[in-house]
Amino acid sequence: MFGLRKLRFVDIGTGLSMMIATAGLLAASALHAADPGCAYPSGPAVCNDKIFEDAAAKLKNLNPGCCSPAPACAAPGAAPCVPSAPACDPNTVFSDPGCAHGCSLLGGELGEPWAMINLFDDGCGNNRLKDKGWIVGGHTQFGYQNKPDGAFTGNGPYLNQKEWGQLTLNQQYLYIGKVADGSKGLDWGFRADIMYGVDGNEGQSFGNINAGHYDYLNGFNHGIYEWALPQMYAEVAAGNTSVKVGHFYTIVGYEVVPSTGQFFLSRQLTFWNSEPFTHTGALATHKVNDKLSVSGGYVYGMDTGFYQYGGGSAFLGGFTYNLSDKTSFIYSVLAGDMGWRGDGAINSWILSQKWTDKFSTVHQFDILNSNLTVDAAGVPRQGNIPADFNTAAGGFIAQNSLGFINYAFYDINAKWKAGARMEIYSPDGQEYYTATYGVNYKPIANLVIRPEVRHMWSPNHDQYSGAGGSNIGLFNQTVVGIDAILSY
């Protein structure tokens, strides 16, 4: 009986082994069939090993710098020695004080980040989309702020929105596109972005004002969460010149709507209150040489999406000049009929300087001038702009303003970066000040965690008190925030 059971056990084991082996052969056959360029033996034999080499490289990148080879023995004839084991102890991922590269979660190299477009790698060093200029990606951002910050947090389409004091999905962001590469002669491209979260209203085309146009008040809002389509444009390029037509982000200013494009969780008062976010129109860019690029185009004013509000018709343009490999200067301007913002112009100057390998600064100066008359409560009095649009825009709307912002950044190591932002925002003769400090921490290449402290003060802070249902003086407080962004 025991022998029979043993025989049955052996038979079952043999059968399972054959099934597993067969499945492995089928999987291997499928991989070869899916990539005829890696056929064996007609193709290069090394191509078949590429899959295993890539896997080994990815495993090594989990702890780069810590997997050093064992030291060699002394020369022949010397005293015998026993090479020590390679420094690849799993514990070194968390702590290895003796590692020359700082092998721990607080230091060390990050390796290469994973990207969504990597799903289209063929296993032989090629990518079916990337090699043809396609881009696919996105990010997920969760954040928390304990109080409203006078900019993105607590200043949604309605003043009673409460976006602070709770963990929120700030941005679920996805994009797809194709880069128009003029170096190939005439080439085409496009880009489409979609965003959902508490920051959705900032990406919407609220400059349309009238409900039901594109992504503004068109069923895209769900409480404090909103959908937005911030970019939707086509592009053509030839040589050093490209032209995009459609709906796209502004080139004015330093900060941007996507959270991955800046150091801090919170935003400038200047950016939120005086600068455009998006445009609809056409914009051409020409690279004159390695130092200078110029751009110019026509847009339907500020923050419109495939819709011309009123007589919105303005020039958008500027230039970027690299004075050296450490110094760059950017100028941008929007001038004309800016749509919901009235007639006028906003000019922005940005000077960036890299002082050392670790320390850099950015200095920005903005001037807004318009004929959009407002009363003490920020209610527009000119043209056909609805009297309650100040509520939809988040409250105060400046007619004229000055913004002076300074940044300082210090790269501590590959995983840590410290930053500070000081701002003076002066709308219509009022004065508002913010000072923000924080760090960016990258435990892995695809994840950044950003804690910050934001001090806000103003002799005019009562003008904004009550925003978002808060009973505090908005501009006489300290705001603590933290977020995490996973990019892919």
The pLDDT tens digits for 125-145 are: 999 999 999 999 999 999 999
Across the strands, what pairs with 193? 175, 231
Q: Looking at residues 83-100, what average pLDDT do you find?
A: 46
For range 319-326, the mean pLDDT: 97
pLDDT at 44: 44
Q: Are 268 and 425 in contact (CB under 8 A)?
A: yes
In tens, the pLDDT along 264-294 reads 999 999 999 999 999 999 999 999 999 999 9
Cα–Cα dist 306/14, whole Å: 67
Distance CA 197, CA 402 (A): 30
Angle at 353 between CA 350 and CA 357, to 5 degrees: 150
Rounded to whole angstroms, the Cα distance separating 44 from 406 reads: 55
Nearest to 214 by CA among 191, 225, 230, 226: 230
Per-residue model confidence as pLDDT tens digits over 207-241: 998 889 999 989 999 989 999 999 999 999 999 99
**Rounded mean pLDDT, 346-357:** 98
pLDDT at 487 over 70: yes
Tell me the mean pLDDT in the region 310-324.
96
Task: Give the mean pLDDT of 410-422.
Answer: 97
Written in H, E and C, the secondary structure of 13-58 is HHHHHHHHHHHHHHHHHHHHHHCHHHCCCCCCHHHHCHHHHHHHHH
Higher pLDDT, 184 or 114: 114
Give the length of the chain. 488
Query: Can you tell me the distance from the alpha carbon of 265 to that of 281, in angstroms, rounded to the nearest whole number?
Result: 29
pLDDT of residue 428: 85
Task: Compute the average pLDDT of residues 396-425.
Answer: 94
Instruction: Quote the tokens at residue 387.
Output: 């009297």
Q: How far is residue 68 CA from its own chain's centroid? A: 34
**Residue 381 three-state SS:** coil
On whether the CB atoms of residues 333 and 299 are closer than 8 A, the answer is no
Q: Which one is predicted more confidently, 206 or 391?
A: 206
- Per the listing, tokens 């935003």 go with 267
CB 286 within 8 A of CB 240: yes
Q: What is the pLDDT of residue 9?
A: 35
Question: What are the tokens at 212?
Answer: 């039901």
pLDDT at residue 185, as a whole number? 93
Tokens representing 411? 């790269």
Most confident of 23-37, 100-114, 183-197, 370-384: 183-197
Q: Can you give the pLDDT at residue 324?
A: 96
**Cβ atoms 156, 183 nearer than 8 A:** no
The pLDDT of residue 472 is 55
Report whether 419 contacts 382 (CB < 8 A).
no
- Confidence at residue 109, expressed as pLDDT on a 0 to 100 scale: 81
| Average of per-residue pLDDT values in the chain | 80
3-state secondary structure 204-273: CCHHHCCCCECCECCCCEECCEEEEEEEEEEEEEECCEEEEEEEEECCCCCCCCCHHHCCCCCCCHHHHH
Percent of the chain with pLDDT over 90: 59
pLDDT classification of 55: cutoffs 50, 70, 90: low
What is the pLDDT at residue 2?
Answer: 35
If one counts every other C-beta atom within 10 angstroms of the C-beta of residue 98, the result is: 7
Which of the four pLDDT bands, split at 50, 70 and 90, describes residue 459?
A: confident
Residue 2, CA atoms < 13 Å, CB-side half-sphere: 0
Domains of the chain: 117-487 (2.40.160.10)
pLDDT band at 75 (very low <50, low <70, confident <90, very high): low
> Residue 64: pLDDT above 80?
no
- Write down the pLDDT at residue 397: 77
pLDDT of residue 33: 40
The rounded distance, in Å, linking the Cα atoms of 133 and 120 is 13
Give the per-residue pLDDT at 5.
Answer: 35
Q: What would the two tokens of residue 36 be?
A: 């005829």
Phi-psi category of residue 88: left, alpha or beta, with phi > 0 → left and psi -120 to 50 → alpha: alpha
pLDDT of residue 463: 52
Q: What's the confidence (pLDDT) of residue 19?
A: 44
- Characterize 283-305 residue by residue with b for buried, 16 or more Cβ atoms within 10 angstroms of its Cβ, and e for exposed: bbbbbeeeeebebebebbbbbbb
Average pLDDT, integer, range 411-421 = 97
- pLDDT for 22: 44
